[in-house]
Each structure stands twice: as C-alpha cells, then as structure tokens.
Copies of this chain bind each other. A is one copy, B any other.
Amino acid sequence: MADKPVWEQIGAGFVQLYYQQFDTDRTKLGDLYTDASCLTWEGAGYQGKEAIMGKLSSLPFQSIQHIITAQDHQPTPDNCVMSMVMGQLKADQDQVMGFQQVFLLKNIDNKWICANDMFRLALHNFGA
C-alpha cells in the first residue's frame, strides 16, 4: 500500500475503518464526524455529529455487514480527499442489497474526519 498515492492511502484507510466500526458498533462512529459534518441518508439531511449519530444509531437493524466491491479516491483542490464506495450490505436477515456512499475527508488538527457523507441504496438505480 505504501507505493499508492497518499490520497488513496488516506481514502482507503478511512473506508476500512468506517465500515469495520459500522459493522462492529455503529454508535461509536462519532469520532469520525464534527459538528459541521453533513450526512444525506437516503435523501434525508442531517448536520452535525449529534444529528448524524442519532440517525445512524437509530437505523432499524441489529446486525449489519458491508462488503466493498469498488472504491475510488481523488485529491480535491482544497486538500481534501473524496472517496466513492460501492458495495453490498446485509442487515439482519434481510436480502443482500447494493449501496453506494461518498465521503469528503478533511484534515483537521492532524486527523482525517468526514466532512460530507452521502448514502443511497442501489435500488435507486432501478427506480420507476
């Protein structure tokens, strides 16, 4: 991994950490957000760590597992890293669903946090 561009290392590292924590205990994802972070989850908007964690914590499933099938990373003009993730998830005993998620990562006090986060189930590709 050391020979990959730094933004790809940052993005891939964040993605690994995020989904590992999400699948283990998503109520502890708060460290990855700030009070200025934005989340759009299935089209509904949440701003700030508290609102975001409220949403993620109240999602109506007990167990979840994400599998990442593709991820892309780019450096942005303002020294952020943008990451697009595609994958599959299985929540409780529901059927496996595709999803996509985008993160904008910003370095604040030597830590990469998630400034922007958008999530959609892949079913929107096949809507009416």
Contacts and interface: CB of A to CB of B under 8 A. Distances in A.
Given A100-B84, A106-B77, A115-B77, A72 B125 contact: no
Contacts of A118: 72, 74, 82, 84
Interface of A: 36, 38, 40, 43, 45, 69-70, 72, 74-78, 80, 82, 84, 86-88, 98-100, 102, 104, 106, 115-116, 118, 120, 122, 124-127
Contacts of A127: 69-70
9 contacts: A36-B77, A69-B126, A77-B80, A77-B115, A84-B118, A86-B125, A98-B122, A99-B125, A100-B100
Given A82-B118, A118-B82, A120-B84, A38 B125 contact: no
B78 A78 contact: yes
A5 B14 CA distance: 29
A88 B127 CA distance: 9
Contacts of A87: 125
A126 B102 contact: no
A116 to B, nearest CB: 5
Contact of A80 (B38, B40, B78, B100): B78
